Structure formats: C-alpha cells, structure tokens
Structure 1
C-alpha cells in the first residue's frame, strides 16, 4: 500500500513540479541551518569522557576569603601549590593528579636538520593517564616511582612523534626539551578531548593536541613555570621573590582532579576537603569559615559555562527558522492538496477510506521531506565550511559531518515534513465526496 501511495505522490509531483521544488528547497534550507548549528552545539556541549565523567571531580578551596571576592560557588578555579600537594599526599581518592600547563623548546637531533621549535605540554602525575583513559600507540605513561623521584621521562603526542621520529615506535628514545634530556616512555594515540576539560586553571579550552607530558615533580624541580593563569592578586598577600616563594604563595595555578568511584567515596572526600579547610583556619592561615566545593566533570563544565553564548543563540535562531519553514510548508501543502479536492472526492466515492487519504498525503509529505533532507545534507556539508564566520575557529572546526549527523539530517527533514503534512492531510480526509461530485 505504501508503494502505491508513493506512486500517487510521484504523479502529483509531476503535475505541480514548481510547487514541489519550492517545498523541497524550503525544507532543505531550514534543516541545513538547524543541523549545522546543532553540530557545533553538540561538539561543545557533549560529555568529553562519558564512560568516567561521573567519577572525576574537581576540588575547590577558598584561600582568598570573602573580603577578596569569594562567595558561594565563586571560588578560585585552581589551587595553590600548598593545597594541591597536601591533597595529593593525602591520597583520599582512588586516583589523583595535579596538573598545570607548560611550554618548552624542543631541540631535535642534528641528523633531522630541523630547527628547535616551541611545543605546548602539561606537567601531571602518573595517574593522569589512567584517570582520563588516555590511549597509547606505543608504550605507556610513566609509573608512580617516576613521580616520587622526579624522573626524566616524557610521554609525547602522536603528532610530535610523527615530526621527530617519522611515526615509528620511539619508546626509549631521548628527547631534549629546554636543554634537558628525557626518555620517551609512551607515544599517545590521537587523543584530544574537546573541550580540554582537565585544564581547570584555564577554565576550559579548545584547540590542538598538547605535544608532551612531564612528571609534575620533575617540572617543579626544574622550576618550569606555569603557562596558564597565575592568579596572585586575589589573595592580597605579597609574593616573596624566587621559586620557593612562588611555591609557598597564595597564588592559584595548579589544577587538581580526583577519581571517586561511588557515592560513598564522594561523600568521604567532601568531608575530608571540609576538614582540611577547617584545619587551615585553625592554623591561622584562613581568617574565614571553611568554604570548599567539589564538582564532577559535567558539573564543572556547566559551572564554567563551557557552551559559548553564541552557540546557544544560534541554535535557537536556527530552530526558529526551521519552524518558519514548517509553517510555510504547511501552507503550500494545504494549497496543493485543496487544488485536488475533486480527485479526493472521486477516490472517496470509489471506496477509499479517510485512513487511505491520510496515508496518501502523509506519504507525499514524507517524500518531500526525504528530498528536502538530501538537499539539506548537501547544504549542511557546505555550511560546515562556513561555521568559522559565526564561531571561534577553534570551536568551528569541531563540527564534522558524521554518520550520525547524516542520518539525523534526513530523519529530521522527513519527520518535520510529516508533522507539517498532518493538518493538510486531515483537511483532505474531511473532503465530502458528494459535494465534490456535485460540483463536477
């Protein structure tokens, strides 16, 4: 029966090709606008680590006090070195890692005939790789023993491995960064979650894959400064000169993550965090009531407002535009169907039920939707190349025409056009055959 309805739809399209093409274009443009903006919105609002996001938490401690601007949930994003190391030593989570961004000059071997170049990286602990499910193409991350002895080891990205070692297994090779030799222990596979949620100190960031990771303790031993936000002004306390003064200061620059596998461990860690802050108050370091927060991964991204306002606004505008296209399609379908009232009356007189009339015109709407979806797919693919006109380039390039987006585009077009065809089909099914036969 559905095949028969499609035959009737094709016959109808040949009778009024201009009206049919107009509806296909309207639906194609409306679907393309909505799906292009949806692709960007989905890229920045999705869960970057769905398999573990409910187990990963960011602790915050108020080390500046209400007099310097802290209140409620508005606490420093990062921690001081003092607090971060105290939490690391406590090992109150199943896993934990302190992190901060670094930058260094990579010095290639002479035989490569490459000039030294600047590379971006992070200083972290060994748990970083297991906590965030970092995949490795060769080797693995370093061990906790390397953290304890500030080992001269390094894990590099696949991109850096391609540049320096032509993509071969470089585990065991030596890499010079800022004049210091490091032994390569692992080459990460292509891993670059967006947003880069683990960079707490910078709120969040989008962009290219970091080039390398060093042990946190090694970076501190070499006095490698942070390449991220270093908030010293909020505490209002003077900064003692020198690296030791920097480490002892109330400047916040260290990100910290803990893995807490269940609700019980989350509750215990909250209590531990509150107890730690209370101890700092009793010791005279804090002059205010303890104030701590613990965000899970998705809660942290919401707290930081990771979805750009322009992505939300653009999505709402695009959905509104799709609604306008649907309203126009309803009007065109209604006009097209009402012009065929005589044909409908004859079919009803020959025994077609109202359900048959419904099916005929909904099948016609579905066919228009499918054609509009294919056109929308082409326009969506073209729109992907123009997203940087509306969004930051680092965000725009996250939108890709995936298999899921392809199927969603066609299905949305078909479903939306069927919805648009419900009222015209209802009007068609209400046609009285006797009136139409008399008028003929």
Structure 2
C-alpha cells in the first residue's frame, strides 16, 4: 500500500506545483536555519575526547589566603607550588602540568624572519593523556622533563611554515634566545574546545571564543619552558603583587593548570582523598586557609562548569527553532487547505470503501514526501549557512562543517516536522463525510 500511496502523493504534488513549492520552501528554510545553528552547537558542545574524557580530571586547590568565601569555588588554576607538589606526588595513572606563553620563534637554517607564536610548557604525559596525533617523531620522555632537556614538539602549521611540511625531526628551533631540538611534529590537531586550557569561562560574560582557538605551535618540557621564557607567562590572577616581578615560582599568583588521568572509580575516590589531605597539610603549614575547598571534576564536568558554548550560539539556536516553528505552522495551513480542496476526491474514496485510517495514511505519506523534498533543500541551505559561519571572525568559525550524524539529522528532522505538520490536516481530511461530498459532485 505504501507504494500506492506514494504514487498518489507524487500525482497530487504535480497537480499544484506552486503550492507544493511553497510548502517545500517553508520546510527547507526552517530546516536550513535550525540545522545551521544546531550543527554549530553540536560541534562546540561535543565531547573533545570520546572514550577518554571519563578518565580525565581537573583538580583544584584554594591557595588564595584572601578568599573570604564570598564564593564557594576555588580559583580555576593553581599556584606553582600546589601544582608541582601534586604533579610530583604521582598519585594518578598520568598527570600533566600546562601553562602557555608567547615568544619569538626562529629556525636558524631557514631564511624566514622570526615569528611570534604560542608555546605550551607541559610534561611528557600530555601527549598520551590527550591522545595527541603525531606526523613525525614523538613526544619527549619523563627523563627529559627531569633533565630540563632543550627539546620541542611543533604543530603541523608551524612545520609547514618553516620546513615546507617535510620531516623536521632533528632540526634546530630557536625559542627566544635558546636553541632546542625538534623531536616531534604533530598531525593537524584541532580539539573542540581547547579543553586543556579552559578556565574562567563563567566569569567572562560569555566571551569564551578563546576556548576554540587553535592549539599552540610549540610544545616544550615544563621546566625547560619556564627557563626559556622566564618572566613572560600570563597570570590568571594574583592576590597581591609579587615581591620580584617576573619570578612566578614563589609568587602569590595562580597560573598553572594540572590534569590527571584516573582509571576507575576507586582511583578517583583515592585521589579525591589525597587532594583533601594535601590541602589539610598545607593549611597546617600556614600556606593556605581553606583546606576543605578542593574540587576534582571530570573533563566534561569541567567544560559544563565553565559554560564553554558561547552564549550567542545558544541564543541563535533558540531563535532558529522558533523560526522553524513558524514555518511549521505555515505548512500546517497550506496542507490543510490542500487536503480540504480535495474533499470530493476523498469522499469518493471513502464511498468506494477506503477507511479513515487509509485516508489518514495517504495524507501522511504525501506530507512525508514534502518533508523529504524540504530536507534536500534544507541540507543545501545548511551547507550555505555553515559556509557563511566560516566567514565570520569568531574563533570557532573554521569548525563549522556538517558531519555524518548532523547530515542524517537534517533529513530526520525535516520528515518529522512535515509529518507533525500533516497530522492535523490528515486527521481533518480522514473525517470528511462521504455522503455530503457526493451530493456536491
């Protein structure tokens, strides 16, 4: 019967091409607008490390002695001593310190002027913890961390700029005034968001674009980076001015992020106890005031806590779906007019023995076909909308691409919307009294 209903739907749509085009256009425009914003929301709010995010945690310790508990949360990042103490304890399966800064980068053997690039000073566990892909070479070892080795990993972008994309492992890179040896080159890597640097999002009035910038171009061992770019690291906040400007190891500032990997609920509970014990110990030493103000959030909990999806994306999504609802109501009116104009035809079918259910099904198949055609138009408009998003100055603009799940969601949503729009008109059409219609023929 479905094939028969489909044939009737095609014939019906061909009879009134203008009305058909209006309904298809209404659905296509609504789907295009809603799927453009929904795709952006999907890309920005997704899990940046599927399958691994549940094992990654972000510890926090409240080292600010001036905190009067006006808010219940510790500062988003750590002071040097707390971060290094926790990292040095090796109480997690893996742990890594991260801090970024900007510095001058030059390749002595390449005839190009120096570049100002972002450098991430981190530890050897960073690469396996975050599943960072390599094109050439690999990361450094824990022994390199301990020896303050002058080594570096560079991004694919920087490798293309300086070495034309060739294997640059073993070449020399000058960071500020220090030569380092390249030990690895990353593949193109674009986590969304840049989760390992997220902090302070909920305090930034929705300005979370920095979470979607590209990863740093140079990665160095944590201690080596501090020595190479000494005094040029950005502080998240300070509770009073450092005694010696530029020397942050003992400064009253928080500026370092710590991530830990914990495989299993028991290890999470043990680390949470360890974190609380460390804070209590530091309180006994008089270094911190609020020993009970510690946190250990998983990666996704940390992203949710910081509201990483920009507020304008939320607003655009709501507006787009409101516009889709308007298109839906317009389609309901057009379908109702279309079906009721065929009252005579429907009355004859009923008189010849067609049930109300059969008429209802026939009308729904026609509405579904309109939805399928609207989905094709909506898909094309979605591609156009995402192309326009990529032309915007937002940091996340280059991420706006339609992946396979959102491609299928486009057609599923279009057909669902059309079936929903066709339900009331189909119900009205199925209740047409055949006797009354036959009298008018």
Q: In 1, distance between residues paired with 2:144 and 2:275?
A: 27
Q: Which residue of 1 aligns with 2:206?
A: none
Q: In 1, distance between residues paired with 2:113 and 2:67?
A: 50
Q: Which residue of 1 aligns with 2:215?
A: 209
Q: In 2, distance between residues paired with 1:303 and 1:225?
A: 30
User: What's the offset of the Cα at 1:430?
Assistant: 1.4
Q: Is the 8 A contact 1:102 1:225 kept in 2?
A: no
Q: Deviations over 1:312-347 (max 9, x none)?
A: 111111111111211111111011000101100111
Within a 5 Å distance, the mapping from 1:107-126 to structure 2 comes to 107-110=106-109, 112-126=110-124
> Equivalent residue of 2:43, what SS?
helix
Q: Deviations over 1:108-128 (max 9, x none)?
A: 234x32111111120000000
Q: In 1, distance between residues paired with 2:249 and 2:383?
A: 50
Q: In 2, distance between residues paired with 1:184 and 1:70?
A: 47
Q: In 2, distance between residues paired with 1:6 and 1:121?
A: 61
> Equivalent residue of 2:42, what SS?
helix
User: Is 2:232 aligned against 1:230?
Assistant: no
Q: In 2, distance between residues paired with 1:23 and 1:329?
A: 6
> Equivalent residue of 1:394, what SS?
coil
Q: In 1, distance between residues paired with 2:233 and 2:4?
A: 67
The alpha-carbon distance between structure 1 residues 386 and 19, as it changes in their structure 2 partners (threshold 3 A), is: same
Q: In 1, distance between residues paired with 2:158 and 2:112?
A: 13
Q: Which residue of 2 aligns with 1:401?
A: 402
Higher mean displacement: 430-439 or 17-26: 430-439
User: What's the offset of the Cα at 1:250?
Assistant: 2.1
> Equivalent residue of 2:242, what SS?
coil
User: Is 2:342 aligned against 1:340?
Assistant: yes
Q: Which residue of 2 aligns with 1:105?
A: 104
Q: Is the 8 A contact 1:223 1:243 kept in 2?
A: no
Q: Which residue of 2 aligns with 1:384?
A: 386
Gaps of 5+ in 2: 202-209
> Equivalent residue of 2:249, what SS?
helix
Give 1:241's match in structure 2, choosing from 244, 269, 273: 244
Q: In 2, distance between residues paired with 1:30 and 1:167?
A: 43
Q: In 1, distance between residues paired with 2:423 and 2:289?
A: 67
The alpha-carbon distance between structure 1 residues 271 and 31, as it changes in their structure 2 partners (threshold 3 A), is: same
Q: Which residue of 1 aligns with 2:84?
A: 85
The alpha-carbon distance between structure 1 residues 119 and 289, as it changes in their structure 2 partners (threshold 3 A), is: closer
Q: Is the 8 A contact 1:100 1:226 kept in 2?
A: no
User: What's the offset of the Cα at 1:243?
Assistant: 4.9
Gaps of 5+ in 1: none
Q: In 2, distance between residues paired with 1:332 and 1:107?
A: 65
Q: Is the 8 A contact 1:345 1:432 kept in 2?
A: yes
**Size of the alignment, in residue pairs?**
433
TM-score w.r.t. length of structure 1: 0.94
Q: In 2, distance between residues paired with 1:142 and 1:119?
A: 20
> Equivalent residue of 1:397, what SS?
helix
Q: Is the 8 A contact 2:232 2:246 kept in 1?
A: no
Q: Which residue of 1 aligns with 2:34?
A: 34
Q: In 2, distance between residues paired with 1:30 and 1:227?
A: 47
Q: Which residue of 1 aligns with 2:227?
A: 221
Aligned-residue Cα RMSD (Å) equals: 1.9
Q: In 1, distance between residues paired with 2:416 and 2:232?
A: 51
Q: Is the 8 A contact 1:201 1:229 kept in 2?
A: no
User: What's the offset of the Cα at 1:66?
Assistant: 6.2
User: What's the offset of the Cα at 1:230?
Assistant: 3.4
Q: In 2, distance between residues paired with 1:52 and 1:228?
A: 29
Q: Which residue of 1 aligns with 2:433?
A: 432
User: What's the offset of the Cα at 1:70?
Assistant: 5.6
Q: Which residue of 1 aligns with 2:204?
A: none
Higher mean displacement: 158-167 or 402-411: 402-411
Q: Is the 8 A contact 2:105 2:115 kept in 1?
A: yes
Q: Which residue of 1 aligns with 2:59?
A: 59
Q: Is the 8 A contact 2:237 2:254 kept in 1?
A: yes
Give 2:195's match in structure 1, choosing from 190, 197, 200: 197
Give 1:150's match in structure 2, choosing from 133, 145, 148: 148
Q: In 1, distance between residues paired with 2:363 and 2:232?
A: 65
User: What's the offset of the Cα at 1:175?
Assistant: 1.6
Q: Is the 8 A contact 1:32 1:379 kept in 2?
A: yes
User: What's the offset of the Cα at 1:276?
Assistant: 0.8
The alpha-carbon distance between structure 1 residues 192 and 225, as it changes in their structure 2 partners (threshold 3 A), is: farther
Q: In 1, distance between residues paired with 2:47 and 2:322?
A: 26
Q: In 2, distance between residues paired with 1:201 and 1:429?
A: 58
User: What's the offset of the Cα at 1:388?
Assistant: 6.5
Q: In 2, distance between residues paired with 1:430 and 1:84?
A: 72
Q: In 2, distance between residues paired with 1:282 and 1:176?
A: 44
Q: Which residue of 1 aligns with 2:93?
A: 94
Within a 5 Å distance, the mapping from 1:178-193 to structure 2 comes to 178-193=176-191
Q: Deviations over 1:212-246 (max 9, x none)?
A: 100001112335345444311xx24x4211555x2
> Equivalent residue of 1:205, what SS?
helix
Higher mean displacement: 79-88 or 63-72: 63-72
Q: Which residue of 1 aligns with 2:158?
A: 160
User: What's the offset of the Cα at 1:177?
Assistant: 1.6
> Equivalent residue of 2:414, what SS?
helix
